[in-house]
Structure 1
Amino acid sequence: MRFEGTERYVATDDLKMAVNAAVTLQRPLLIKGEPGTGKTLLAEEVADALGMPLLRWHVKSTTKAQQGLYEYDAVSRLRDSQLGDERVHDIGNYIRKGMLWQAFESEQRSVLLIDEIDKADIEFPNDLLTELDKMEFDVYETGERIQAKQRPVVIITSNNEKELPDAFLRRCFFHYIAFPDRETMQQIVAVHFPDIERRLVHEALEIFFQLRDVSQLKKKPSTSELIDWLKLLLADRIDPAVLAQQDPSSAMPPLYGALLKNEQDVHMLQRLAFLARRESR
C-alpha cells in the first residue's frame, strides 16, 4: 500500500516518501506549508489513492480536543427527563461520536484529516497525545473503552500560525511542503487545465513569480490563487500578448484581484507602478 500521487494531485518525491513513511510507521503525518499549497487536498488524494474513506475534522479557534472523541449532551438529557422521555434511561442516546471515535470504530481503515491544528488553543495537541499514540480512549459516562479496530492514517495540517508542543511533534512524521518551483507549477497547471495554451501559461507564470518576488508583499499569491487567476484569464479570453506587456513593477496585471488579497498590497504595487511610469518618462 503505497501513495504515488494521483492524476489530480502533483506530489513531489519527498512528499510521496513522507506519506508512505507515516503509513509504514503508523504515525500521524504533520504537514506544514504556505496556505494554498495543497495540504488539505493531500488528505483527500491519499484517501482516494489508497481506497480509504476520508473523515474530516476541521479545527477552529474554539475547538476542544474532547470534541474529536465525543460530546455528552447533558442539557438534552435533562430536558427529556423533565418531559418523561424513555430515551433518558440510555445515556448512550446523548453521546455524539467525534471524528476520532468514528475513525476508530470503522471496519475499514480510513484516513483522518485534522485540518489546521494550529488554529486551536496551545493545549489542543497535548490533549490528543494518548489518543493518537495508543489509539484508544475511555468514555467516562458509560465506562466504555474505545479502541481502534483499524489504525487510521492520520494527516494533520498546520499553517504555522503557532508553535506546536515538542511532545506532540515527537509523535509525528513531519513534512514541509515547499512552494512549487516553476517546473512543478507547470505540472500543477496542466492537471487543472490540460488544454490551456502554453504561451498563456508561460506569460502568467512570469507575472505570478515576479509578484512573489516582490519582498514588500504582505501576502504572496499562492497556488490556489494562480489557478483561480488562470480560470479568469481563460473565461475573459485574455490574449497572452497582453500579459507579455505586463510588468508588476510598472503596471497592475489584469484581474489582479484573484492574486492580491489585501488593500496594502494593492496600494503598494500601484505606487510602484506609478513610480516606474514616472521614471520612464
Structure 2
Amino acid sequence: MRFEGTAAYVADKDLMIAVNAAIALERPLLVKGEPGTGKTELARQIAAALNLDLIEWNVKSTTKAQQGLYEYDAVSRLRDSQLGDARFNEIRNYIKPGKLWNAFTADQKVVLLIDEIDKADIEFPNDLLQELDRNEFFVYETGETIQAVHRPIVIITSNNEKELPDAFLRRCFFHYIKFPDVDTLTRIVEVHYPGIKKNLVRAALTQFYEIREVAGLKKKPSTSEALDWIRLLVADDVAPEDLRADPKNALPKLHGALLKNEQDVHLFERLAFMARRQG
C-alpha cells in the first residue's frame, strides 16, 4: 500500500516519502504548512489513490477530544425515563459514536483526517495520546473496549497556530509542506486548468510571487488563492500584457482574490502613491 500521488494532486518526492513512511510505521502523519498549501486535500487524495474511504474530523475551537470517541446523551436519557420510554433501559441508545469510533470499527482500513488540530485547546492532542497510540478506547457507560479492527491511516493537519505537546509529536511522523516554487505551482495550475495559456500562467505567477515578496505584507496569498485569481483572469479574458497595463497602479488586477485585509490593500495603495510621486 503505497501513495504515489494522483492526477489531481501534485505531490513532491519528499511528501510521498513522508506519507509512505507513516503508513509503514502505522503512525499518524502530522502535516504542517501555510494555509492553502493542500494539507486537507492530501488526505482526500491519499484515500482516492489507495481506494479507501475517508472519515473527516474537522476540529474547531470548541471541539473536545471526547467527541471523537463518543458522546453520551444523559439529558435525553433522563427525559425518556421521566416519560416512561422503553429506550431508557438500554444505555447504548444514548451513545453517539464519534469519528475515531467509526474509523476503528469500519469494515476495512480507512483514512482518518483530523483537520486543523491546532484550533482546539492545547489539551486536545494530549487527550488523544493513548487512543491514537493503542488504537483503542474504553466506553465507561457500557464497560466495553472499542478496538481498531483495521488500523486507520491517520492524517493530522496543523496551520502552526500553536505549539503541539512533545508527547504528541513523539507519536507522529512529521512533514512540513513548503510553499511551492514557481515550477511546482505551474504544474498545480495546469492540473486544475488543463490547456490554460502558458504565457498567461507565466505572467500571472511572476506577479504573484512578487506580491508575496512585498515587505510588510500581513497575509501572503496562498496556493489556493493563486488558483482562484488565475481562474478569474481566465474568466475575464485578461491578456498577459494587461496584468501590468498601468505600472503606477501597484494593486494587481482582481486583487480581492489575493489581498484579504484592508492593511495589505492600503500597503499597495501607498506603494502606488509613492510610484506616482517618483514618476
Tell me how far apart the structure 1 counterparts of residues 219 and 236 of structure 2 sit (CA, whole Å): 25
Deviation of 1:107 (Å): 1.3
Tell me how far apart the structure 1 counterparts of residues 21 and 74 of structure 2 sit (CA, whole Å): 42
- Aligned partner of 2:76 in structure 1 is 76
Deviation of 1:252 (Å): 1.1
- State percent identity of aligned pairs: 68
After superposition, residues 205-224 of structure 1 pair within 5 angstroms as 205-224=205-224
Tell me how far apart the structure 2 counterparts of residues 216 and 251 of structure 1 sit (CA, whole Å): 14
Tell me how far apart the structure 2 counterparts of residues 96 and 215 of structure 1 sit (CA, whole Å): 50
- Aligned partner of 2:4 in structure 1 is 4
Per-residue CA deviations over 1:3-23 (Å, capped at 9, x if unaligned) read 000010000100000000000
Q: Secondary structure at the match of 2:30?
A: strand
Q: Secondary structure at the match of 2:102?
A: helix
Deviation of 1:245 (Å): 3.7
- Aligned partner of 2:191 in structure 1 is 191
Tell me how far apart the structure 2 counterparts of residues 70 and 108 of structure 1 sit (CA, whole Å): 20
Which runs of no fewer than 5 residues in structure 2 stay unpaired? none
Tell me how far apart the structure 2 counterparts of residues 252 and 217 of structure 1 sit (CA, whole Å): 13
Q: Secondary structure at the match of 1:171?
A: coil
Q: Specify the code of the residue in structure 2 equivalent to 1:51.
A: N
- Aligned partner of 1:257 in structure 2 is 256
After superposition, residues 1-281 of structure 1 pair within 5 angstroms as 1-245=1-245, 250-280=249-279
Q: Specify the code of the residue in structure 2 equivalent to 1:219.
A: K
Which runs of no fewer than 5 residues in structure 1 stay unpaired? none
Contact (CA 8 Å) 1:203, 1:244: kept in 2 or not?
no
> How does the TM-score come out when normalised to structure 1?
0.98
Deviation of 1:82 (Å): 1.0
Tell me how far apart the structure 2 counterparts of residues 53 and 259 of structure 1 sit (CA, whole Å): 34
Deviation of 1:244 (Å): 4.2
Contact (CA 8 Å) 1:104, 1:148: kept in 2 or not?
yes
Q: How many residues align?
A: 279
Deviation of 1:241 (Å): 1.3
Tell me how far apart the structure 2 counterparts of residues 202 and 244 of structure 1 sit (CA, whole Å): 13
Contact (CA 8 Å) 1:250, 1:273: kept in 2 or not?
yes
Tell me how far apart the structure 1 counterparts of residues 235 and 142 of structure 2 sit (CA, whole Å): 57
Q: Secondary structure at the match of 1:125?
A: helix
Contact (CA 8 Å) 1:3, 1:20: kept in 2 or not?
yes
Aligned alpha-carbon RMSD (Å): 1.0
Q: Secondary structure at the match of 1:174?
A: strand
Q: Secondary structure at the match of 1:31?
A: strand
Deviation of 1:254 (Å): 0.8
Q: Specify the code of the residue in structure 1 equivalent to 2:154.
A: V
Per-residue CA deviations over 1:179-234 (Å, capped at 9, x if unaligned) read 00000000000000111111110110011000001121000000000110011111
> How does the TM-score come out when normalised to structure 2?
0.98
Q: Secondary structure at the match of 1:92?
A: helix
| Deviation beyond 2 Å, 4+ runs, structure 1 | 244-247
Deviation of 1:250 (Å): 4.7
